[in-house]
């Protein structure tokens, strides 16, 4: 079975730039919890029903379990229990 290649995802968390490897289908929640070991956002239903994964993106709540870590919409400033903003790609 072939798995998608990982790419680096740069996030600014609590004012510090952090980097983790993600695949194209990695959610923002997975990147935060498993890629960066930040457990402020909780993994609940993984369907967007419970809201445990909610983070603020430009001051608006979004469900991190339904948002891809590499989604261009995630380049806006966002926060959860950790302060997060996606760094623009250098390419």
What pLDDT sits at residue 27? 94
More confident of the two residues 90 and 46: 46
Do residues 53 and 43 touch, judged by C-beta distance below 8 A?
yes
Q: What is the pLDDT of residues 51-88, one digit of tens each?
A: 999 887 666 788 999 999 888 655 555 555 555 555 55
Please state the rounded mean pLDDT for residues 21-45: 91
Taking the C-alpha atoms of residue 62 and residue 21, their distance in angstroms, rounded to an integer, is: 22
**Could you tell me the pTM of the whole model?**
0.76
């Amino acid at each position: 079975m072939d798995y998608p290649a990982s790419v680096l995802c740069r996030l600014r968390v609590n004012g510090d730039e952090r980097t983790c490897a993600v695949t194209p289908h990695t959610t923002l929640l997975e990147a935060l919890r498993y890629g960066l070991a930040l457990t402020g956002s909780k993994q609940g239903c993984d369907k967007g029903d419970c809201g445990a994964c909610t983070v603020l993106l430009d001051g608006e709540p979004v469900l991190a379990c339904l948002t891809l870590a590499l989604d261009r919409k995630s380049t806006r400033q966002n926060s959860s229990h950790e302060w997060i903003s996606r760094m623009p790609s250098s390419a």
